[in-house]
Amino acid sequence: MNPISVVIATLNRGENLVSLLRQIESLETKPHEIIVVDQSESYPLKIKQQLNEILLNSSINYQKIEIKGAAAARNFGVRIALSEYIIFIDDDVILTLDFFEKYLSVINSDLDFDAIAGKVLGLDKKTSYSLPKEFNDQLFGFMFRPMHYGYPLEHSDLGTCNMMIKKSVFKELGGFDENLKRLEDSDFSFRFLKNNYKSYYDPSISLLHKFSLYGAARDIATNQNRQYPSKEYWQQYFYYVIKNSTIIEGKTFLLFYLKPVFIKKGMLLRPLRLFYALKAVYNGYHNAKQILRK
């Protein structure tokens, strides 16, 4: 039996979801199980009809849930998954024709691993993710380190839009932290490293990421004021940093994020706007501390 379950979390991106499911159904090698965890409230009639047609003519396990957030959706998908290995992909990706074949070949090889991460490319075919050098890789890197890269790859963020993990390992780590509406993959990465699990980066397993500007966790966690980040934005970052970092790393984080907000945007020359921006930072910090105390 093909030992792979694919978990796709989606929110308000029906057109992308339909496109992805059609891609998967057209591939010669498919996963044993496709699980779609949909948090959308509604779709336009055309999208509903297209999605219903796909579901009627396939064995896709389609689940609607009310809880919002990528972490909650992915955790739900893993809980109901039947296979030994879980692949996470986003709803706004374009797969290669041999995408699942590549993952299966790794499973059938002699490689000793707990998780595999593939390459993520933008539509311009360039590697999508790049970490700021100011960040400590083990704290702020989106996915698993240390890795066997196969070639030099500096400050690479490897997110959950292209990765596979043993279901048993995912459950041992407690899944994604549902308090996080963003950075949930970074947090998971940190715990993965801390517990000395083995990971491998395979650049031959690649996909294209469209980087949609709406939907998914962006609708929940970003919620940014056009003039300065909201308290919800800061809450997420403070929660993650306080939970996982040292004081020095926390200060590095603050300097990196506060500099563009308060200096590059000329906030120091706008006292009233500066006051509200600082208030958002303080409230975000206070809210994060409250959540961590629970």
Q: Are residues 187 and 229 both part of a single domain? A: no
Give the Cα separation of 84 and 226 in Å (integer): 44
pLDDT digit string, tens, across residues 31-69: 999 999 999 988 999 999 999 999 999 999 999 999 889
Distances (CA, A) of 128 to 58, 121, 162, 247: 32, 5, 12, 30
Residue predicted with more confidence, 248 or 283: 283
Q: How confident is the model at residue 135 (pLDDT cuts 50, 70, 90)?
A: very low
Q: Write down which residue in 180, 200, 218 finishes a domain.
A: 218
Residues 205 and 237 reside in one and the same domain: no
Q: Are residues 109 and 147 in the same domain?
A: yes
pLDDT, tens digit, for every residue of 59-107? 999 999 998 899 999 999 999 999 999 999 999 999 999 999 999 999 9
Model confidence at 244, in pLDDT bands (50, 70, 90)?
confident
Residues 227 and 147 both lie in one domain: no
77 shares its domain with 129: yes
CATH of the domain at 164: 3.90.550.10
Residues 233 and 169 in one domain: no
Q: Is the pLDDT of residue 223 over 90?
A: no
H-helix segments, 113-230: 137-140, 167-172, 184-194
Range of the domain at 211: 4-218
Residues 131 and 198 in one domain: yes
CB 119 within 8 A of CB 203: yes
Same domain, 162 and 246: no
> Do 150 and 242 share a domain, yes or no?
no
Q: What percent of the chain has pLDDT over 70?
A: 76
Q: Is the same domain home to 133 and 252?
A: no
pLDDT of residue 1: 64
Q: Are residues 209 and 228 in the same domain?
A: no
Same structural domain, 130 and 264: no
Q: Look at residues 218, 239, 270 and tell me which one is the last residue of a structural domain.
A: 218
pTM across the whole model:
0.83
**d(C-alpha 105, C-alpha 2), whole Å:** 11
Q: How many distinct structural domains can be found in the chain?
A: 2
Which residue, of 165, 191, 218, is where some domain finishes? 218
